[in-house]
């Protein structure tokens, strides 16, 4: 469950923080007080899209943070999780899960297993038949899950093989042209006999040859200075120290050091002489190096930025040449693999179809019972499953699932999209959520505008359904209905006030008497004695139901 929500700089919300609890948490308040902004905050935490307009005027960023307690996930994740998202005017977006930076995609993936938000958007989702199979499979649960996992693994292989078969080398003329090009490239690379690292060695050698005159002159200068003074001077110093070394240990140490230096300089002198002999300008060698480097540069320009990349490219085209030369056998092998995978996918699809067909009847009955409770007594939904015998696979197998409904006795069965009433759509969606609540593992359910187009007895039924869902999930609900507010385990009032010429949102958890006054305001618009008595009666009714 969400234990605490902190919102900063979103719309008219300056900085609010409030605690939430297990059970049914209901949020009410006057229009424009900030209820929708709190829902927007939940959407941001879910990794939803945002507009810079949501950031409070005069501020540079907005921030949402939630403390979440997940005892049901013990062993899989930490029980106490802190999730936050910070958004700046310049587009900078910082998401964190327990202090660890996360991408928006990672945040979205994590929160999808934690929170389910039901709003008007969900009423649009259920109108899309492609979502219907998801509701059915969610209801079925583990009975179909392992089969779906195996199928999806095969489906990925299936798509990969199909894409490979779509590769077109053209007709025989086109295939020969491709082979000629690849063989030319292969021959050009292999004729060069490239060695990894040789370009660096050649560059170094070219630098030595190009600067041979300068190198030779400086080696000569060094040789002259060593032999025309340095060695003789050190030799004289050694003789001088040799005459007094017996008088002090320090004199002896200086003499030994000087002798070592003398021998080192003699060694350096011999090395310089050898280097002088090796330093010469070889025009032919320079030309050979230039030609080799030009060849390597030309190959880099065509096939890669380094010798390693060129050799890797050669290996790649060698395999492609082999594939094209043996294309007939290669395609035959691919088709055999594809046929085997298709057969297994078909078998799994038939098995999933059998499970879905059996379980869909149970789901139909449960949803229809819920619809009766929601004052849609004559409504009946039917889950239609079409099995594609042509092996036109999708990620769900070969089943196409669509929910149809009959709203009145004697009326024709229609797809859900043909229903115009927002109140009916809200109740159908709530009925589905209520049935799935027993199998849905998402611990937190948020309902926004669930009361659209609903009043009277239907409102009581909606309230009871939300209460039932809250027995197994934390439910957070924004509502305008007194019936739902009366059923709340925890009732929050959202208001706004003007401070220093700026509008700010406040939120308060109401006590029993405050809740009754707010229910009275919702039900009649004015807090009269009659409205208060009605609110108390609503409270008593909900307690008796519980």
Same-domain status, 196 and 317: yes
Q: Report if residue 515 sits inside a domain.
A: yes
Question: Domains in the chain: how many in total?
Answer: 2
- Assess whether 48 and 189 both reside in one domain: no
Does residue 84 fall inside a structural domain?
Answer: yes
Flag whether 535 is in a domain.
Answer: yes
Residues 177, 102 within the same domain:
no
- 110 & 212 share domain: no
* Cα 322 to Cα 316, 325, 329, 527, distances in angstroms: 10, 5, 11, 86
Domain final position from 281, 298, 325: 325
Q: What pLDDT was estimated at residue 278?
A: 67
Tell whether 106 and 179 lie within a shared domain.
no
Instruction: Verify that 89 and 10 share a domain, yes or no.
Output: yes
Token match 């403390």: residue? 67
In this structure, the strands spanning 414-415 and 444-448 are unpaired
Whether 387 contacts 398, CB under 8 Å: yes
For residues 94 and 184, membership in a common domain is answered with: no
Q: How far apart are CA 415 and CA 401, in angstroms?
A: 11
Task: Provide the pLDDT for residue 284.
Answer: 81
CATH code: domain of residue 21: 3.40.50.300
Over its C-alpha atoms, the chain yields an Rg (Å, rounded) of: 40
Q: For residues 516 and 523, give the distance between their C-alpha atoms in angstroms, rounded to a whole number.
A: 11
Residues 221 and 301 in one domain: yes
Structure tokens at 158: 């299936």
Q: Quick one: which H or E segment has residue 399?
A: strand 399-406
Residue 496 forms part of a structural domain:
yes
Picking from 306, 325, 344, the residue at the C-terminal end of a domain is: 325
319 and 176 in one domain? yes
Judge whether 420 lies within some domain.
no
Listed as own residue / partner, the contacts of 41-44 with beta carbons closer than 8 Å and 24 or more positions apart are 41/5, 41/7, 41/10, 41/13, 42/115, 42/117, 42/446, 42/476, 43/117, 44/85, 44/87
Residues 187 and 257 in one domain: yes
**In the chain, how many H helices and how many E strands?**
18, 15
pLDDT at 452: 67
Looking at the structure, tell me whether residues 179 and 317 fall in a common domain.
Answer: yes
Mean pLDDT by 10 residues, the chain (546 residues): 94 93 92 88 89 89 93 69 93 91 92 80 71 90 92 94 75 81 94 92 82 73 75 81 83 87 84 73 79 92 93 94 83 90 96 95 91 84 93 93 86 78 74 80 82 72 86 90 90 90 90 92 84 86 61
Q: 4 is written with which tokens?
A: 């605490």
Provide the residue range defining the domain that includes 285.
172-325
**pLDDT score recorded for residue 169:** 59
Confirm whether 253 is domain-assigned.
Answer: yes
Give the end of a domain, one of 310, 325, 340. 325
Output the pLDDT for position 408.
80
Question: Across 153-234, where does the E strand assignment appear?
Answer: none
Residue 179: name the closest of 10, 325, 313, 30 by CA: 325
CB burial of residue 459 (10 Å; 0-12, 13-18, 19+) = buried
**In 3-state terms, what secondary structure has residue 254?**
helix
Do 223 and 293 belong to one domain?
yes
472 within a domain of the structure (yes/no): yes
Name the packing angle between helices 172-192 and 307-325 (round to 10°): 150
**What whole-number distance in Å separates Cα of residue 28 and Cα of residue 47?**
25
pLDDT given at position 206: 82
Per the domain annotation, does 465 fall within a domain? yes
């Amino acid at each position: 469950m969400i234990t605490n929500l902190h919102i900063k700089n979103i719309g008219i919300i300056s900085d609010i923080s409030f605690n939430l609890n297990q059970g049914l948490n209901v949020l009410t308040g006057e229009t424009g007080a900030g209820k929708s902004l709190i829902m927007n905050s939940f959407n941001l935490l879910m990794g939803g899209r945002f507009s810079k307009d949501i950031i409070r005027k005069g501020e540079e960023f907005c921030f949402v943070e939630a403390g979440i307690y997940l005892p049901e996930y013990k062993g899989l994740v930490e029980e106490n999780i802190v999730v936050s998202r910070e958004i700046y005017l310049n587009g900078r977006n910082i998401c964190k899960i327990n202090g660890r930076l996360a991408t928006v995609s990672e945040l979205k993936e994590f929160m999808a297993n934690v929170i389910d938000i039901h709003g008007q958007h969900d009423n649009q989702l259920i109108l899309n038949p492609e979502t219907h199979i998801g509701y059915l499979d969610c209801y079925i649960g583990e009975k179909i899950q392992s089969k779906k996992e195996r199928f999806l693994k095969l489906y990925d292989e299936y798509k990969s093989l199909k894409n490979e078969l779509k590769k077109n080398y053209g007709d025989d003329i086109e295939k020969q042209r491709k082979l000629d090009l690849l063989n030319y490239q292969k021959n050009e690379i292999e004729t060069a006999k490239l060695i990894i690292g040789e370009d660096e060695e050649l560059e170094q050698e070219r630098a030595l040859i190009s600067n041979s005159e300068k190198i030779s002159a400086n080696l000569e200068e060094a040789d002259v200075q060593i032999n025309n003074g340095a060695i003789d001077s050190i030799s004289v110093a050694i003789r001088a120290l040799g005459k007094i070394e017996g008088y002090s240990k320090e004199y002896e140490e200086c003499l030994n050091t000087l002798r070592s230096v003398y021998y080192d300089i003699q060694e350096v002198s011999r090395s310089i002489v050898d280097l002088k002999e090796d330093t010469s300008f070889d025009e032919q060698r320079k030309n050979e190096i230039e030609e080799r480097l030009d060849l390597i540069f030309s190959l880099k320009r065509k096939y890669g930025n380094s010798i390693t990349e060129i050799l890797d490219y050669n290996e790649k085209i060698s395999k492609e040449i082999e594939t094209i030369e043996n294309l007939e056998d290669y395609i035959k092998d691919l088709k055999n693999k594809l046929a085997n995978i298709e057969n297994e996918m078909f078998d799994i699809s038939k098995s999933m179809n059998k499970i879905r067909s059996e379980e869909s009847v149970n789901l139909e009955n449960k949803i229809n019972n819920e619809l009766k409770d929601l004052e849609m007594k004559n409504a009946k939904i039917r889950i239609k499953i079409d099995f594609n015998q042509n092996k036109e696979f999708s990620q769900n197998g070969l089943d196409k699932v669509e929910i149809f409904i009959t709203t009145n006795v004697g009326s024709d069965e229609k797809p859900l999209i043909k229903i115009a009433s927002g109140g009916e759509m809200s109740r159908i969606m709530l009925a589905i959520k209520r049935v799935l609540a027993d199998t849905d593992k998402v611990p937190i359910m948020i309902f926004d505008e669930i009361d659209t187009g609903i009043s009277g007895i239907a409102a009581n039924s909606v309230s009871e359904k939300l209460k039932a869902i809250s027995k197994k999930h934390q439910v957070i609900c924004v509502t305008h209905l007194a019936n739902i507010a009366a059923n709340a385990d925890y009732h929050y009032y959202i208001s706004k006030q003007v401070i220093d010429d700026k509008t700010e949102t406040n939120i308060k958890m109401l006590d029993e008497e405050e809740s009754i006054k707010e229910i009275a305001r919702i039900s009649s618009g004015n807090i009269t004695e009659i409205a208060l008595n009605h609110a108390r009666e609503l409270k008593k009714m909900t307690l008796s139901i519980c």
